[in-house]
Structure 1
Amino acid sequence: MQPITDRPIRWGVLATGGIATAFVEDLAAVPGAEVHAVASRRADSARAFADRHGIPHAHGSPADLAADPEVDVVYVATPHSAHHAGTKLLLEAGKAVLCEKPFTLNHGQAAELVSLARKRETFLMEAMWTYLDPTVRRIAELVADGAIGEVRTVQAEFGFVEAEVPGHRLWDPAVGGGALLDLGVYPVAFAQLLLGEPDSVQALARLSSLGVDARTSMLLGHPGGATALLSCSLDAECAQRASIQGSAGRIEIDRDFFHPAGFTLHRAGAEPETFRGPAKVGHGYGLEAAEVMRCLRAGETESPLVPHDSTLAVMRTLDAVRERTGVRYPGE
């Protein structure tokens, strides 16, 4: 990839749903970013989105967006089940890609995309904003520096109550529905940021009548003996908190551990220390866009903060959890 250093970086957006809207709104606050085009499977949907957000070009298919010579990078905001096909199309056309989480439905699809990006020397990154959040990065630094000693256990939960409605994306097997891929990717990614990839995976789930998981609990074992106790749910309200427990203290995140406002450090024998992170700008997606653009201006094909290997490791764990709970998607 040739570095883009002499002009704004032109974005395309694939899909027109709520998360695409939030991303486009946040791009307005990212210096040097321009939204050039949007694409949808329906031309009228793309046109309406473009008109609503002042985007110059609307395309009625992903292929048309991939062929647009003015687009440098595309944000893929489609349902999980369409991530693989859309990202593959864009990479083959030479476009840099920021793909929403979960990266794909399974590890096999993810590995194919990473291999293609590396072969084409084209930038690719999962939109894992947790790994870019300055507060989470500060937590990871404290853990790495031994602030709580040797980490013994990571606990994290993410869930809410969503009525089980046939056809809703959260419950539809055809689009990768269920709690694990939509919500469980966050606690798994958080734990693996701190502990690395597990060498043992245990899981239990309550499956919905539609065949996807309404609730999943996970116990991950990591090299050295550390464990992660994680859960995700579409049928129970959760505090969305996390705790990192070590041999010399612990770190508590009371809310929204995946992009927290702050945290409390408890060192053994010392008064608790409360840390507050910087104020969030917009919805938080600007962090992802800024890192992508930094990489494109430097000619990098992979972010050191959201590396391909981390994305693949998370997908391997999610696959292992589904294997143990019996969740399968059409075509697998």
Structure 2
Amino acid sequence: MDRRTDLVPLHYVSLGARGPEDVVADPHGRVLTGTEDGRILRVHHLGDPLTARVEVLAEPGGRPLGLELLPDGALLVCDAERGLLRVETGDGTVRVLADSVAGERLRFCSNAVVLPDGTVYVTVSSRRYPLHQWIGDIVEHTGTGRLLRIPAEGGAPEVVLEGLQFANGLASSADGSFLVIAETGACRLTRYHLTGPRAGRTDLFAAVPGMPDNLWREGSDGPIWVALAAPRVPPLDLLHRTPPAVRAAAARAAVHAPFRPGRTIGVLALDDEGRTLHHLTRRGSGFRMVTSVCATGRHLVLGSLWEPGVAVCARPAAG
């Protein structure tokens, strides 16, 4: 049963830059994020707002979105402008791993996950709209999202799945048998089978009560945390059933209209069966548009495409 409980805010940590779109916790309890000014930051001591400290790890430029820590301590960065990057967290060295796919520039690279054998999977949210016009894709419902695969030995990425509705967050199952893909525009999590008789095929992992954004797996066998960037919008569901020309016209209007996120936020924790372990919500939140969540110690840390900092909330009790 999906039982909603309160998301309890504790404090806010300013980063000095807007848009910490994704947040990931490292083994030492520090949180890494990227901001719209093209920097990769690491935040120390998030549990105490008086001692929290922001460290600049690298300045790759572009617009970093999804992050994935590698076993050797380096960081995979999905950059909406530059493609897939590898950032060395020790000295800030940046290397471009992929900037094109199937002869097309790799733009709006959104999230990545690396499997134990070194294979990397990457989502592309939209082939029609750039990041700054993301709302156009949500409104038009283009279905141009993709899942890419980069072999462990390297080389050019290959397209393994198309037709996704704003492909976004990405996480692997604990046993490595499937991936979970957040389809923001369809308010669902899709399972992509990697092994077994259904390998290469998809099915529904979970329908969610809002627009899922980044996913973060807590450890090798912990829950999958899901950020809900916005509640479900019934008029938008109706619009998605109209002819393509109607949706395209609505999208053209949407990308030029003023946008301000709502004040209802939420996060989920799911197990590998797609069952809800936690559903945390807050109405009237001063922190808007939660696009990522990770857990460290007794806290949940929220990131946002909109805010100039991260929010620290109480972690729910187990069970």
Instruction: Give TM-score scaled by structure 1 length.
Output: 0.28
Higher strand share: 2
| Structure index of larger Rg | 1
Higher helix share: 1
